[in-house]
Amino acid sequence: MPEKKTLERAKEQRRKGNSPSTQAGEFIREEMHHIKEGKHGARSRKQAIAIGLSKARRAGVDLAPPEKGKAKKSTRKQAKRDLAKGKSPSARRRRPSPTRSRASKKALKREGRPKLTTKRTARRGGTTKRTRTSPKRTTRKTKRTRTRA
């Protein structure tokens, strides 16, 4: 379920007359934020975009499914299903099944954290720095700044 703020921002975009893809951008932004927080959900940025688009369709954004040849048949089918769910008023009010919720929570607990958190990204920069030895790091600088006497 998308956050209330995200839904409000998407509705605002709709009122302004922006395209469905712009409205869906709000849901993708939310998903990217979840990745940075280290929440469960997407394993990659590409997957975050897919989840965001799915959430947008289910929330009622009139975003057409991908054309034939642009995506897998299963992806197109799922997009059609999401779109139908977003358009039908009864589907949005239905409470989630407690059994299913419990099962998915259990599965997520077993899974572990994503590899895209900000800490890990920052750490990645440090490891590349450490691979170069200190003389190699300093020689470049000294060559540029040294003047001949």
Give, for all 149 residues of the chain, the pLDDT tens digit. 788 899 899 999 899 999 999 999 999 999 988 888 877 767 788 888 999 999 999 998 999 888 888 888 889 999 999 999 888 876 556 788 999 999 988 887 887 665 555 666 566 556 666 676 776 666 655 556 666 65
CA–CA separation, 139 and 46 (whole Å): 40
CB-based contacts of 45: which residues, under 8 Å, 6+ apart? 32, 35, 116
